[in-house]
Amino acid sequence: MSSYPVDFFELKEKIRASGYKKILLQLPEGLMYNAESLVDSLSDEFEVYLSSEPCYGACDIIVHEDKLTVQFGHSEIPNIKYPSNIIFEEMFSNKEFDGVVKKFLDSHRCERVGIVASVQHVHEIEKVQKMFEKNGIVALVGKGDSRIKYAGQVLGCNFSAARDIELDVDCFVFLGTGVFHAVGVRIATGKKTYVLDPFSNHVDDVEAYADKLMRQRFGAIALAESAERFGIIISRKIGQKREKLAMALKEMIESAGLKAYMIYGERIMPESYYYNVDVYVNTACPRITYDDYLRFRKPVITPIELQIALKYKLWENYAFDEIVNVD
């Protein structure tokens, strides 16, 4: 937890202001290992419960009428109307990027760089921007759409902060860990993208990861072209529900003389999907399509991939599935 410090004095002030004595802590998987220390720091004043449900982002909240939910590690999504009994504790990392930025500058050259980050590192964007500019490199930061709280922030389902400046940069750097967000930036913008990881002090070019993902996606589209029965996956989560989109896809499938079935739920467990369909179309969290593809017994595609399979769009119009608005 030392890399993601919590101001417990300020957090307790927020909880007191809410008027709740019972609180539910909702943690992403990466923070669950130290959940007990969070409870210990708050239980002197509040009745603390730990949520056993997995948490995948600010779109994935759990609230109970008699408790205040404290969601750790994410920022609220501005265009979602949340219940009143939830607060977000963002937990910014205290890791600095000086070393890994220097490593990038020593080994790569982009005249105009776009900077994006996960929420844990958005507070470092301005400092990194100044480091690039001191080395004679133009460094730009996009604002993003109504789903984005901070300039330069990217979500697993939204890369609008990158698309905002894609025509003005030669490459992107992603401040954070893991390759998924950076791969999303690469596919969404078509620009070379690098991960600058402050924990490992490593620079990672995501080109190979993006190529592998695209081969998988084109294979899924090819399978969908011969499908006759489609299962449309819909999430009821507050930040993922795209039921109107699902209905439009159903009409599109049926207008092609094919069958469509609506599958609606809270938790999407690929291993439990035994439906008699040829292909699933996912309108829930886009990461389900990309990360959990091999867990499904049948191919799973995005709404855009469905349009390509049904010849409503050309292969050249391929785009990463992003959520802008929800129902």
Q: Give me the helices (H) in the chain, please.
A: 8-18, 35-42, 98-107, 125-134, 160-163, 180-189, 207-224, 243-255, 286-291, 303-309
What is the pLDDT, as a whole number, of residue 108?
Answer: 86
Please, what sign has the CA dihedral across residues 93, 99, 103, 108? positive
What is the pLDDT, as a whole number, of residue 109?
Answer: 83
What global pTM score does this model have?
0.92
| Secondary-structure class of domain 8-89 per CATH | alpha beta
Q: How far apart are CA 220 and CA 260, in angstroms?
A: 17
Task: Provide, rounded to the nearest whole percent, the portion of the chain with pLDDT above 90.
Answer: 90
Beta pairing, strands 259-265 & 300-301: unpaired
Retrieve residue 113's tokens.
């760089």
Q: How far apart are CA 322 and CA 107, in angstroms?
A: 32
Q: Where in the chain is the domain with CATH 3.40.50.11860?
A: 210-317
What is the pLDDT, as a whole number, of residue 2?
Answer: 60
51: Cβ–Cβ under 8 A, 6 or more apart, which residues? 24, 25, 26, 27, 62, 69
Question: Of 309, 292, 322, 317, which Cα lies nearest the Cα of 230?
Answer: 309
Beta pairing, strands 112-117 & 86-89: unpaired
How far the first Cα of the chain sits from its last, in Å, is 35
What is the pLDDT, as a whole number, of residue 203?
Answer: 97
Q: What is the pLDDT of residues 132-177, one digit of tens each?
A: 999 999 999 999 999 999 999 999 999 999 999 999 999 999 999 9
What is the pLDDT, as a whole number, of residue 54?
Answer: 77
Q: Where in the chain is the domain with CATH 3.40.50.11850?
A: 98-205
**pLDDT > 90? residue 12:** yes
HSE-up (13 A, CA, CB side) for residue 48:
19
Q: What is the pLDDT of residues 17-50, one digit of tens each?
A: 999 999 999 998 878 888 899 999 999 999 999 9
Q: What is the pLDDT of residues 301-310, one digit of tens each?
A: 999 999 999 9
Mean pLDDT of the chain: 95
146: Cβ–Cβ under 8 A, 6 or more apart, which residues? 78, 79, 324, 325
Query: Are the C-beta atoms of residues 308 and 317 closer than 8 Å to each other?
Result: yes
What is the pLDDT, as a whole number, of residue 28?
Answer: 87
Q: Give me the helices (H) in 171-285, please.
A: 180-189, 207-224, 243-255
Model confidence at 126, in pLDDT bands (50, 70, 90)?
A: very high
Which option is the CATH number for 210-317: 3.40.1260.10, 1.20.840.10, 1.10.630.10, 3.40.50.11860? 3.40.50.11860
**pLDDT > 80? residue 130:** yes
**pLDDT > 80? residue 67:** yes
Mean pLDDT along residues 224-253: 97
Retrieve residue 49's tokens.
């419960």
Give the distance from CA 54 to its chain's centroid. Answer: 15
Q: Where in the chain is the domain with CATH 3.40.50.11840?
A: 8-89
Strand order in the sheet with 229-235: 259-265, 229-235, 279-282, 300-301
What is the pLDDT, as a whole number, of residue 7?
Answer: 92
Fold of 98-205: Rossmann fold (3.40.50)
Mean pLDDT along residues 66-93: 94
Q: Which residues pair with 279 in a beta bridge?
A: 230
What is the pLDDT, as a whole number, of residue 53?
Answer: 83
